[in-house]
Amino acid sequence: MRIRCPLCGDRDSREFTYMGHEIYMHRPEDAGWSPAWDDYLHLRDNPAGVTRDLWYHGAGCTGWLLVERDTTTHDILRVELATDAKRGSA
């Protein structure tokens, strides 16, 4: 598998660490434990198809990337810096 890091270019997936679904970027506001937290930490749509997840370019630029992928084909549709995505959505 290869991922096109926006900063480093096309790289072998062994340079990256996977974390999980994009939801990890959207930390709940609730100050105490709540269903939103259960959602955030545990529950997943777990789609068979297109999803967006977080990858860390630890052996490269140390950037966190938001990657749009298809979980059935491993096609990679879009890659952007998580920071850009976060700023864009904020």
**Which residue has 């950037």 as its token pair?**
63
CB 81 within 8 A of CB 7: yes
What residue type is assigned to position 73 of the chain?
T
81 binds Zn ion (CB under 5 A): no
Shortest CA distance to 56 belongs to which of 25, 15, 12, 1? 15
- Pick between residue 20 and residue 78 the one whose CB is nearest to other proteins: 20
Give me the residues that bind other proteins (CB under 8 A), please: 1-3, 12-14, 17-21, 24-25, 27-28, 30-35, 37-48, 51, 53-56, 58, 62-64, 69, 71-76, 81-83, 86-87, 90
Residues within window 17-76 making contact with Zn ion, judged by CB under 5 A: 57, 60-61, 63
Q: How far is the CB of 46 from other proteins (least distance, A)?
A: 3
Q: Following CA atoms 85, 88, 89, 90 in sequence, which dihedral angle do they give, to the nearest 10 degrees?
A: 120
